[in-house]
């Protein structure tokens, strides 16, 4: 900018700070001044041409800002009118030109600064015109949506101003932050300023639109509830006019429902009391709807609806067999349980009638007296009634067996999942004082069943947690305990419900996490998981037929060959149960169903060669087929929540400094097993023919592949030691020998758990020999005979015995030179890659 032009535009003027606002050129506004410096500046200006410069402060609450606390761009304004009120001055100011502050001349008694005018260029072009038109339209829309703009300003804006004036006026009515206003003031280029204004304005209209939507929704809701209350009130008046005063139709209907529900006497009284409260209540009272919901719950519970309770053991046995293959022991156990239940019922009824005769029931609750006598006589006999608990991996038929029991007894079946429940209220309900309160899951389940004696399955009882919201297992215990559950109290219901006719069955994957008090009550029935042959029979006899029916396919026309089923079991699933197997069969049939509908096939026999087309590539390689007898790799047996499995333990040696490296997501106990194995080998180094200091020049890496599967527990001790010795002696381990057992530092082998699952897993994987602790011998009892026939068992109580069997060259007593290279470490190190 040329210096001459500069000079004409430079002025020295009083500066007045504004806390949080911007005065735009061409606009008028009323401001209130109170700070002494501002008042003196106004005073001084009145003796000249009444112009001052208004500049915004960077922080609004600062009372005495310094020059550096002010923005450097402000507006020259003329003070048009003044109105003084006690200590403050209201001034009508009119913005004139934008200025930039060049330097402050003095700061006392008020700010005086040298400023230079920086007006807009009056440019017009198509783009600017379009922006002005767009903003005008948007502003009109905003005003229609409820934006408040004072009438005069609005008229001004609409009256065809120059783009620069237009932008200043619109800026002054925008609902934006002071800092955003300052930014607009500082934007020199008119086009840029208009674009920015347009953005701010669209944002504002969007918010106005949302606000309007919310307002109309709220109004709608409000209207609905008012309308309902008014109608109810009107109904009452009409009924009064018709002489039906006292009992509205609703109350009469509810009373009818209460009578039909055949509740115990005290419950009925409670219900009637609530009904009376409701009848006296104005319809406008929000509590009325809570009472209505409560009464609905009370009247819809099956207080005295029951399925017939005939236990026919022969019939039950037939139905259990028809629904499930195998599970002989489980079925036998269930039939025994049913028989005991039947006998107990008969004894109970006999005792009951005897005692009832002795003390005839008064007009009070006859039923209650009877209940008391049953449970007391049960107590006297010392009978501890139990609840069945099915333990086993997923997909072994726990739920479907529960269903089958219900079918065989002609009772209803309900199932609730307890997985992840941490709140007692989930079991026992919330008190009615809570908004949105409901009965707990037990009462909900009973309502769903619609009878008071359903088979009630509580799934995943091992996954119930405890925290600050109370202990759900305590509430569960009360529900399950036959001595207490004839009067189960739900917080929401407030009246006791009789659960003594419900047959509870619980299920879980593991037993360890069930609280002991609860476990005590459970009659544990193990589902060990299936062998390949059993799975095949289940698939052929049950799953295929079931899925054909589900998919609407004709069993005479669509078939799956035996070989295919075996192939699916071996190569597409790896599980203890049959859930995935069923899923894979369903996948095949779904695809065939589509082909049938499309007219591509009419009959089909699925062969092994077709499986790739329907199921994609095989998901699992056969466990052992591709493996070889290897140095430093042993086969262990693991037990997980999903059943048994085999796992491979690998040990690698590297030149190093005696570090032990453990990988493959090993749990703490398993890591300790590795260390114990290492200590054992070090202690036995001499006997094994190793240099006593062998470990000093070596790093030993123990790895258990399939890192995503967490592994823990002490039972891999034998397998780890075997792999370690094999690596150190450079002698391979037999691939088809699987081993399990905990070890001590002295090489003793201790007993372990989960034998059944592990043996079945070993059988499934094609293992030939299983090495197992001597003390576990008795655990083989429950394992199917044909599994035992296929396997060779070696029971050991020391590691030496295990090594003899597992490591390829027979490991004879310690001094045999042939297998124990009498080396120091040199030959071993020489074979390692450097
Ligand atoms: P869980 O409750 O143990 O997880 P499910 O009861 O859901 O397992 O069983 C999964 C599927 O396998 C069901 O369709 C069930 O009918 C079927 N199934 C499991 N075991 C057998 C069996 N022994 N005979 C027939 N079908 C079975």
The listed range with the strongest mean pLDDT (110-124, 189-203, 376-390, 819-833) is 189-203
Please indicate whether the domains covering 10-117 and 532-615 agree at the CATH topology level.
no
Our answer to whether residue 417 is catalytic in this structure is no
Of the candidates 409, 503, 495, 488, the one whose C-alpha atom is nearest the C-alpha of residue 458 is 503
Q: Is the CB of 491 under 6 A from ligand 1?
A: no
pLDDT band at residue 242 using 50, 70 and 90 as cut-offs: low
Coil vs helix vs strand at 615: helix
Q: What is the pLDDT of residues 10-58, one digit of tens each?
A: 999 999 999 989 999 999 999 999 898 899 999 888 888 899 999 999 9
Please report, rounded to a whole number, the percentage of residues in the chain having pLDDT higher than 70. 88
Q: Which residue of the set 331, 535, 684, 758 is catalytic?
A: 758
Inter-axis angle of helices 579-597 and 562-571, to 10 degrees?
130
Instruction: Find tokens 């009462």 and name the residue.
Output: 443
Q: pLDDT per residue over 314-343, tens digit each?
A: 888 999 999 999 888 889 888 988 888 788
Higher-pLDDT residue of 280, 94: 94
Terminal Cα distance for the chain, rounded: 77
Q: Are 665 and 712 in contact (CB under 8 A)?
A: no
pLDDT of residue 365: 41
Contacts of 711 (CB under 8 A, 6+ apart): 638, 647, 664, 665, 666, 667, 670, 704
Is the minimum distance from the CB of 542 to ligand 1 under 6 angstroms?
Answer: yes
Task: Say if residues 658 and 696 touch (Cβ distance below 8 Å).
Answer: yes
Does the pLDDT value for residue 70 go beyond 50? yes
pTM for the whole structure: 0.60
**SS3 state at 144:** helix
Q: Is 327 in the pocket of ligand 1 (CB under 6 A)?
A: yes
What CATH homologous superfamily does 313-350+384-526 map to? P-loop containing nucleotide triphosphate hydrolases (3.40.50.300)
The pLDDT score that the predictor gives to residue 683 is 87
Percent of the chain's residues with pLDDT above 90 = 30
Residue 770 pLDDT class (50, 70, 90 cuts): very high
Q: Is 528 in the pocket of ligand 1 (CB under 6 A)?
A: no
Q: Residue 462: is its pLDDT beyond 60? A: yes
Tokens of 636: 């262990």
φ/ψ (deg, to 5) at 43: -55, -50
pLDDT at 546: 92
DSSP-assigned states of every residue in 650-699? EEEEEESSS-EEEESSB-HHHHHHHHHHHHHHHHTHHHHT--TTGGGGEE
- 435 or 550, which is more confident? 550
Q: Cβ atoms within 10 A of the Cβ of 314, count? A: 7
Specify the pLDDT at position 749: 92
- Give the residue carrying structure tokens 């370690």: 724
Distance CA(825)–CA(284), nearest Å, equals: 93
Are 539 and 565 within 8 A, CB to CB? yes
Per-residue pLDDT at 706 exceeds 60: yes
| Cβ pair 95, 27 in contact under 8 A | yes
Q: How many C-beta atoms lie closer than 10 Å to residue 117's C-beta?
A: 15
Topology of the domain covering 630-806: Ribosomal Protein S5; domain 2 (3.30.230)
Bridge partners for 507 per DSSP: 390
Q: Which atom of ligand 1 is nearest to the CA of 324?
A: 24
* DSSP code string of 320-339: HHHH-SS-HHHHHHHHHHHH
Least confident of 28-37, 74-83, 218-227: 218-227
Model confidence over 609-645: pLDDT tens digits? 988 989 988 887 655 656 778 888 999 988 877 677 8
CB 95 within 8 A of CB 77: yes
pLDDT of residue 349: 58
- Which residue owns the Cα nearest ligand 1 atom 22? 324
Q: Residue 821 has what pLDDT?
A: 46
Please choose, from the candidates 658, 593, 632, the residue with its C-alpha nearest in 3D space to the C-alpha of residue 730.
632
The question of whether 758 is a catalytic residue gets the answer yes
Which atom in ligand 1 lies closest to the alpha carbon of residue 546? 14
Residue 667 assigned as binding residue:
no
The verdict on whether residue 398 carries a ligand-binding annotation is yes
Structural fold of domain 532-615: Helicase, Ruva Protein; domain 3 (1.10.8)
Q: Find the helix packing angle between 313-323 and 328-358, rounded to 10°.
A: 150
DSSP 79-130: EEEEEEETTEEEEEEEEEEEEEEEEEEE-SSSEEEEEEE-PPP----HHHHH
Tens digit of pLDDT for each residue in 279-295? 877 766 778 888 888 99
Averaged pLDDT for residues 418-432? 84
Q: What residues contact residue 606 under an 8 Å CB cut-off, 6+ apart?
A: 558, 559, 560, 561, 564, 588, 592, 614
**Alpha-carbon span 53 to 75, nearest angstrom:** 5
CA distances from 715 to 637, 743, 793 (A): 8, 8, 17
3-state secondary structure of 74: strand
In ligand 1, the atom with minimum distance to the C-alpha of 459 is 2
- Distance between Cα 479 and ligand 1 center (Å): 27
Q: Would you list the DSSP string of 688-737?
A: HT--TTGGGGEEEEEE-S-TTS-B-SGGGHHHHHHHHHHHHHT-EEPTTE
Best CA proximity match to 624, nearest among 514, 517, 734: 734
Is residue 579 within 6 Å of ligand 1 at its C-beta?
Answer: yes
Nearest to 17 by CA among 210, 177, 178: 178
Topology (CATH level 3) of domain 10-117? 2.30.130
The catalytically annotated residue of 715, 734, 735, 756 is 715
Of 503, 476, 500, 502, the C-alpha closest to 368 is 500
What are the sequence ranges of the domains in the chain? Answer: 10-117, 249-300, 313-350+384-526, 532-615, 630-806
């Amino acid at each position: 900018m040329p210096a001459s032009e500069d000079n004409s535009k430079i002025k020295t003027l009083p500066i007045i700070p504004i806390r949080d606002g911007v005065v735009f050129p061409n606009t008028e506004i009323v401001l209130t001044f109170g700070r002494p410096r501002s008042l003196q500046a106004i005073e001084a200006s009145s003796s000249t041409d009444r112009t001052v410069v208004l500049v915004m402060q960077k922080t609004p609450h600062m009372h005495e800002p310094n020059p550096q606390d002010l923005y450097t761009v402000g507006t020259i304004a003329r003070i048009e009118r003044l109105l003084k009120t006690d200590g403050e001055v209201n001034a009508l100011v009119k913005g004139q030109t934008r200025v930039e502050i060049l330097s402050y001349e003095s700061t006392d008694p008020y700010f005086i600064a040298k400023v230079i005018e920086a007006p807009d260029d009056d440019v017009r072009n198509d783009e600017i015109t379009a922006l002005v038109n767009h903003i005008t339209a948007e502003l009109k829309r905003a005003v229609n949506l409820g934006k408040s703009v004072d009438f005069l300003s609005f008229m001004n804006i609409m009256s065809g101003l120059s783009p620069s004036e237009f932008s200043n006026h619109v800026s002054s009515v925008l609902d934006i932050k002071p800092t955003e206003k300052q930014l607009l003031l500082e934007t020199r280029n008119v086009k840029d300023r208009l674009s920015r204004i347009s953005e701010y304005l669209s944002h504002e209209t969007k918010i106005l639109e949302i606000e309007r939507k919310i307002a109309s929704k709220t109004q709608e809701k409000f209207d609905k509830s008012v309308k309902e209350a008014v109608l109810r009130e009107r109904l009452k008046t009409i009924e009064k006019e018709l002489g039906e005063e006292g009992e509205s139709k609703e109350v009469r209907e509810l009373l009818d429902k209460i009578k039909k529900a055949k509740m115990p006497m005290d419950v009925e009284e409670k219900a009637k009391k609530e009904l009376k409260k409701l009848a006296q209540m104005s319809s406008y009272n929000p509590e009325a709807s809570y009472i209505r919901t409560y009464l609905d719950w009370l009247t819809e519970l099956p207080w005295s609806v029951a399925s017939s309770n005939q236990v026919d053991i022969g019939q039950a046995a037939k139905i259990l067999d028809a629904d499930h293959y195998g599970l002989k022991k489980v079925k036998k156990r269930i039939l025994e349980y049913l028989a005991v239940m039947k006998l107990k019922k008969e004894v109970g009824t006999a005792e009951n009638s005897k005692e009832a005769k002795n003390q005839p029931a008064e007009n009070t609750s006859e039923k209650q007296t009877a209940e008391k006598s049953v449970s007391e006589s049960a107590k006297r006999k010392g009978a501890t009634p139990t609840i069945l608990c099915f333990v086993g991996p997923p997909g072994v038929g726990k739920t479907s067996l529960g269903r089958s029991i219900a079918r065989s007894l002609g009772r209803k079946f309900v199932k609730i999942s307890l997985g992840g429940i941490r709140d007692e209220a989930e079991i026992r309900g919330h008190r009615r004082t809570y908004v949105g309160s409901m009965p707990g899951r037990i009462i909900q389940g009973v309502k769903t069943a619609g009878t008071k004696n359903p088979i009630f399955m509580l799934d995943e009882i091992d996954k119930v947690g405890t925290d600050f919201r109370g202990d759900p297992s305590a509430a569960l215990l009360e529900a399950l305990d036959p001595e207490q559950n004839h009067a189960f109290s739900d917080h929401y219901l407030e009246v006791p419900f009789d659960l003594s006719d419900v047959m509870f069955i619980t299920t879980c994957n593991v037993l360890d996490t069930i609280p002991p008090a609860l476990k005590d009550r459970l009659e544990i029935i193990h589902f060990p998981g299936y062998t390949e042959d059993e799975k095949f029979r289940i698939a052929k006899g049950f799953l295929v037929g079931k899925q054909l029916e589900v998919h609407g396919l004709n069993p005479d026309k669509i078939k799956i060959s035996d070989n295919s089923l075996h192939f699916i079991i071996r190569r597409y699933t790896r599980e203890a149960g049959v859930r995935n197997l069923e899923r894979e069969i369903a996948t095949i049939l779904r695809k065939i169903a589509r082909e049938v509908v499309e007219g591509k096939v009419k009959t089909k026999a699925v062969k092994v060669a077709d499986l790739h087309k329907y199921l994609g590539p095989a998901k699992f390689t056969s466990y052992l087929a591709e493996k070889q007898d290897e140095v430093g790799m042993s086969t262990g047996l693991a037990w997980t929540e999903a059943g048994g499995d085999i796992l491979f333990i690998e040990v690698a040696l590297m030149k190093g400094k005696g570090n032990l490296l453990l990988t493959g997501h090993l749990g703490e106990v398993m890591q300790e097993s590795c260390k114990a194995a290492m200590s054992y080998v070090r202690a036995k180094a001499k006997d094994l023919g190793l240099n006593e200091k062998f470990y000093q020049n070596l790093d030993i890496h123990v790895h258990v592949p399939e890192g995503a599967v967490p592994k823990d527990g002490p039972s891999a001790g034998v397998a780890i030691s075997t792999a370690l010795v094999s690596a150190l002696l450079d002698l391979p381990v037999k691939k088809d020998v699987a081993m399990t057992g905990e070890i001590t530092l002295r090489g003793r082998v201790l007993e372990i758990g989960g034998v059944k699952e592990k043996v079945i897993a070993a059988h499934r994987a094609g293992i030939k020999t299983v090495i197992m602790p001597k003390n576990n011998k008795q655990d083989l009892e429950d394992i199917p005979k044909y599994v035992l026939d296929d396997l060779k068992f070696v029971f050991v109580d020391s590691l030496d015995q295990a090594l003899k069997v597992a490591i390829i060259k027979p490991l004879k007593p310690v001094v045999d030179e042939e297998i124990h290279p009498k080396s120091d470490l040199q030959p071993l190190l020489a074979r390692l890659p450097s």
